[in-house]
Copies of this chain bind each other. A is one copy, B any other.
Amino acid sequence: MREVRVLEIKQSVFADNDRQADLLRQDLKEKGVFLLNLMSSPGAGKTTTLMRTIEALKDTFKIGVMEADIDSDVDAQTISGAGAKVIQLHTGGMCHLDAEMTRQGLAGLQTDDVELAILENVGNLVCPAEFDTGAVKNAMILSVPEGDDKPLKYPLMFTICDVVLINKIDVMPYFDFDLEKCKEYIRMRNPNAKIIPICAKTGEGIEDWSKWLGEEVRSWHMTK
């Protein structure tokens, strides 16, 4: 078992999270760090997708990963050694990260040499959607076994995401999942969301996803 750094996150003292998030984004711009906030239900495949993303982009960008979890460090263990620096954040029962908590995580990660920082948020389709973390882009993963009706039931999450990855498409034959209907529901919530079907396990679709992410990182760095 690898040794991973674990940071116990403290609850925020700031009432105005939106303002803190804007300040963090401004600081990150000055430091040249692109922050991606990755969200999903428990078990939708965030960590496996991250492994593939690091594999695809580690020669292009210096990557740092923050693994947020209520408890345990299994995800940071998995990520360590994949080619990115990583820190495990423990939220102490908290169901989401806000901008100030994300700032604590970035300080723990030490981002001086990081061009692309990725926050793996707590597995939860509800609360993380309500708190701007200061990220430049929000991404979410919806996995096929969860069902195609999730955009109807968790509207805010789909509304605030710039990109929706539909994961585990390899098991589509074993579930009642209508991809076109799902895309339609997502567009009802968010007509501008980029939708990319993937299979993190086999690597299918990862090229499209890492191309999208790479372009976002580059265009953001260029407008510095």
Query: Interface of A with B (CB < 8 Å)?
Result: 41-44, 69-72, 74-75, 93, 95, 122-127, 130, 143, 145-147, 149-150, 152-156, 168, 170-171, 174-175
Contacting residue for A124 out of B43, B124, B155, CB 8 A: B124
Partner among B41, B72, B74, B143 whose Cβ is within 8 Å of the Cβ of A123: B41
Complex contacts, A168 vs chain B, CB 8 Å: 145
Q: Taking CB as reference atom, which chain B residue is nearest A147?
A: B43
Contact residues in B for A126 (Cβ distance below 8 Å)? 70, 95, 122-124, 127
CB-CB nearest in chain B for A95: B126
Taking the nearest CB of chain B, how far is it from the CB of A67, in angstroms? 10
Using A43-B145, A93-B130, A145-B168 as known contacts, say yes or no to A71 and B153 having CB atoms under 8 A apart: yes
Q: Do residues A153 and B95 form an inter-chain contact, with CB atoms below 8 A?
A: no
Residue numbers in B under 8 Å from A171 (CB-CB)? 145, 171, 174-175
Measured CA separation A130–B154 after assembly (Å): 20
Shortest Cβ distance from A24 into chain B, in angstroms? 23
Within the complex, the shortest CB–CB distance from A119 to chain B, in Å, comes to 16
In-complex Cβ contact of A42 among B69, B93, B95, B153 (8 A): B153
Task: Give the CA-CA distance A147 to B167 in the complex, in Å.
Answer: 14
Which residue of chain B has the shortest Cβ distance to A75 in the bound complex? B153
Q: Which residues on the B side are within 8 Å of A143 (C-beta)?
A: 43, 145
- In Å, the complex CA distance between A74 and B42 comes to 22
Instruction: Known contacts A95-B95, A125-B124, A171-B171; decide if A153 and B72 are in contact (CB<8 Å).
Output: yes
Q: How far is the CA of A62 from the CA of B53 in the complex (A)?
A: 51
Contacts of A70 in B (CB 8 A): 126, 153-156
**Most chain B Cβ neighbours within 10 Å, of A44, A69, A70:** A70
Contacts known (A126-B124, A168-B145); A152 close to B71, Cβ less than 8 A: yes
Roughly how many angstroms separate A117 CA and B100 CA in the complex, as a whole number? 41
B42 in contact with A154 (CB, 8 Å): yes
User: What would 26 A/B residue contacts be, using CB atoms closer than 8 Å?
Assistant: A41-B41, A41-B42, A42-B153, A42-B154, A43-B147, A69-B153, A70-B126, A71-B153, A71-B155, A72-B149, A72-B155, A74-B149, A75-B153, A93-B156, A95-B124, A95-B126, A95-B127, A124-B124, A124-B125, A126-B127, A145-B145, A145-B146, A145-B168, A170-B174, A171-B171, A174-B174
